[in-house]
Amino acid sequence: MKKSDSREIVLDWPRTEKPELTLTFSLESSELELQSGGSKIPRSLMTKRLIFTGTIAASLLALNASAADLFKIGGYQFDQANSIQSATVVEGPPFLPDFSSSRFARYSESYVLSPDKMKNEFHSFDHSKSIARLMGRRSKSGLSRHVSFPAPGDVSPLPNIHRVTIELTWQDHGLPNKAGVDFVVYEVASYEAFAVAVRKAGADEFTAYRYKFADTFDTTHNVNAVGFDLSDFGLKEGDVISAIRLRNVFNSDARGGADKVDNARGEGEIIYPGNPRYKEAHPLLAKAGGKTFNTPDLNADFVYVVGLHDVVPINSTQ
Ligand SMILES: [Ca+2]
Ligand SMILES: [Ca+2]
């Protein structure tokens, strides 16, 4: 953003106050805060609107002038404008069960601890971008819904029999590879295995699939946060991806053998049975030093996937 860019920012201020106000932005809480005479103005008093137009400090513009769209879950802060916009089953029987994720992105931790004192930072969260709802599943409550990979007892598809893949896109936008982690997959409740591949904008093929241990479990939101760095998929910095695929994993109950990984830690590139590297590959583990997944733990539950940087438009020819 250039300093000369002109942008309108709408601020609210209390009816009773003169507009001699200080505007601050907290990087910690991602909140814009108005102060008058050194005291914070409660949001409940913010009823009038003050409109600034013209040149605004670049540091403020960098916030996209929409602090309300920034959320933090499982240690990752994201702008919900960068959430994926479409989800489709592209491999396997198309029906996957969906469930309510009633705790996901509903309340902030501080609000849960003291609801009378704290504001709920998630009141403006867009649950319609949760994975199952993007797949057209209805929600009576208006909350997020997750879709689950095959589990024992399902009629179809079945674990260790059907390969199931979900493709996610930002439609006409893509996600650039920048320094560090680029996107995060939120998987509900106990951690269950899944593989991830990406497609570079303009490419026909997806990369090899990778499996990763969960980074953290967020008890407030009942999700595992699993961050992925596009460099691990072989992309260069500045490369843009146009799609992500999530695929189920097989264990040793599968007829052809378990999916393995290339790293002795138990995560990394997935090495499928039949691959010449399969003999040297390693068991896929639930966590570092952990065990392999049992069949009831192959039904990963996807609620939300979001880019950690701003998505960019991609040409239809890419
Ligand atoms: Ca990266
Ligand atoms: Ca799970």
Domain ranges of the chain: 9-64, 70-313
Distance 305 CA to ligand 2 centre (A): 15
- The answer to whether the CB of 233 falls within 8 A of the CB of 198 is yes
* Per-residue pLDDT at 51: 43
Residues 6+ apart with CB under 8 A from 83: 126, 129, 304, 305, 306, 307
* Per-residue pLDDT at 68: 62
* Per-residue pLDDT at 67: 57
* Per-residue pLDDT at 43: 59
- Give the count of beta carbons closer than 10 Å to the beta carbon of residue 57: 8
* Per-residue pLDDT at 89: 97
Distance 155 CA to ligand 1 centre (A): 39
d(CA 35, CA 228): 39
* Per-residue pLDDT at 116: 85
CA distances, 260 to each of 210, 231, 280, 284, 297 (Å): 10, 21, 9, 5, 16
Distance 150 CA to ligand 2 centre (A): 12
Q: State the sign of the Cα–Cα–Cα–Cα dihedral 233, 234, 236, 239.
A: negative
- The answer to whether the CB of 271 falls within 8 A of the CB of 195 is no
* Per-residue pLDDT at 119: 81
d(CA 146, CA 114): 28
Give the residue ranges of the chain where pLDDT is below 70: 1-68, 316-318
* Per-residue pLDDT at 110: 84
* pTM, rounded to two decimals: 0.79
Distance 227 CA to ligand 1 centre (A): 10
